[in-house]
């Protein structure tokens, strides 16, 4: 895309105009603002602006900036790429097989955006030129307080409310990482539990029967408790406190206490 507009012959007047604008590049509020300024050099009503000419002016501006090794912000370059595309659409005869809006439609929309922004600027200026409270007209200087009853109301603005909420939520956002341990049973917990229970167990019993209530149904909790109890049973077997057996692969694991004989 960059090459396609580099090849375009840029008129001398466009180049001179572009160089004049480059000085102000920092003062523009984005590509639309720059385009509006370029429009003014066409010296016609915004409604009669030639979008094609405007696209060429803009591309000349970007080209000049490049030659001066001036870095333009990304959105200026995005606009340049889009205008180069628009220009090719406007110049080439329409290809019926091509999808999407026509060059004329795209140009009309850009013209609309420019006209709308220009209109908003105009009314903004009108608004600011209005008489303003505290500058041109004034409110009552002495407000009367007849001290009859003093009655306290509390005030809070929506801003206070939102800032309050934001304060709480950001505290949460940056809470250091902690495992959510609601659904986690540790090896230590299982071990302590089993040490206590195993003394009461006489015969072979399923390991799963040792899993406490509240950990038997919810899958994540059941998984965690099962793993903890299994690890604990290995620990107890190593210590010689229990025997473990399993009929076949995936069959229930059974344990019994190894009572000293």
Partner 1 sequence: METERTSLFEAPPMAEQERMVEAILFASADPVTFTELMGRMPHGAEPAEAIARLRKRYEGRGVNILRIGDAWAIRTAPDLGFLMQKETVEVRKLSRAAIETLAIVAYHQPVTRAEIEEIRGVSVSRGTVDQLIELEWVRFGRRKMTPGRPVTFVVTEGFLDHFGLESARDLPGLKDLRAAGLLENRPAPGTVPLGEGSDADADQTEMFDQD
Residue reference for tokens 């799963």 = 208
Helix axes 31-42, 12-22, angle to 10 degrees: 130
Query: Of 34, 19, 33, 26, which is closest to residue 65 (Cα–Cα)?
Result: 19
Tokens describing residue 94? 């329409």
The residue among 147 and 203 lying less far from partner 1, judged by its C-beta, is 147
CB of 9 to partner 1, least distance (A): 28
Min separation Cβ 247 and partner 1, Å:
32
Q: Are 21 and 61 in contact (CB under 8 A)?
A: yes
The burial class, CB within 10 Å (0-12 / 13-18 / 19+), for 38 is: buried
Nearer to partner 1, 45 or 203 (CB): 45
> Residue 246: which of 227, 228, 233 has the closest Cα?
233
Give the C-alpha separation, 155 to 176, whole Å: 35
Could you give the CA distance from residue 253 to residue 186 in angstroms, rounded to a whole number?
19
Choose between 132 and 216: whose C-beta lies nearer to partner 1: 132
Alpha carbon distance 242, 230 (integer Å): 12
Q: Report the residue number, 131 or 248, with the smaller CB distance to partner 1.
A: 131
For partner 1, which is the closer residue by CB, 48 or 147? 147
For partner 1, which is the closer residue by CB, 69 or 140? 140
Q: How many CA atoms lie within 13 A of 259 on its CB side?
A: 8
Strands (E), 161-241: 205-206
CB closer to partner 1 out of 97 and 202: 97
CA separation for the pair 121, 130 (Å, rounded): 14
- Give least dist CB 17 to partner 1, A: 21
Min dist CB 136 to partner 1, Å, is 4
In the complex, the smallest distance separating the C-beta of residue 4 from partner 1, rounded to whole angstroms, is 20
What is the three-class DSSP state of 46?
Answer: helix
Q: Please state the closest distance from residue 157 (CB atom) to partner 1, in A.
A: 8
User: CB of 110: closest distance to partner 1 in angstroms?
Assistant: 9
């Amino acid at each position: 895309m960059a090459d396609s507009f580099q090849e375009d012959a840029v008129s001398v007047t466009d180049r001179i105009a572009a160089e004049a604008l480059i000085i102000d590049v920092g003062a523009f509020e984005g590509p639309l603002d720059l385009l509006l300024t370029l429009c003014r050099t066409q010296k016609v009503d915004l409604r009669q602006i030639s979008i094609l000419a405007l696209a060429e002016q803009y591309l000349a501006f970007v080209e000049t900036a490049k030659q001066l090794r001036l870095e333009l912000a990304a959105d200026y370059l995005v606009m340049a790429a889009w205008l180069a595309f628009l220009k090719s659409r406007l110049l080439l005869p329409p290809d019926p097989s091509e999808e999407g809006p026509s060059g004329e439609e795209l140009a009309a929309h850009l013209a609309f955006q420019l006209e709308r922004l220009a209109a908003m600027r105009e009314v903004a200026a009108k608004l600011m030129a209005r008489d303003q409270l505290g500058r041109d007209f004034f409110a009552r200087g002495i407000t009367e307080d007849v001290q009859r009853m003093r009655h306290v109301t509390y005030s809070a603005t929506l801003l206070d409310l939102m800032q309050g909420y934001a304060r709480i939520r950001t505290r949460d956002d940056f809470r250091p990482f902690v495992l959510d341990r609601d659904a986690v049973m540790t090896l230590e917990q299982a071990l302590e539990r089993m040490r206590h229970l195993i003394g009461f167990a006489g015969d072979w019993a399923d390991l799963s029967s040792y899993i406490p209530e509240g950990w038997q149904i919810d899958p994540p909790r059941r998984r965690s408790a099962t793993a903890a109890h299994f690890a604990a049973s290995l620990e107890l077997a190593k210590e010689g406190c229990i025997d473990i057996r399993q009929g076949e692969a995936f069959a229930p694991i059974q344990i019994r206490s190894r009572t000293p004989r």
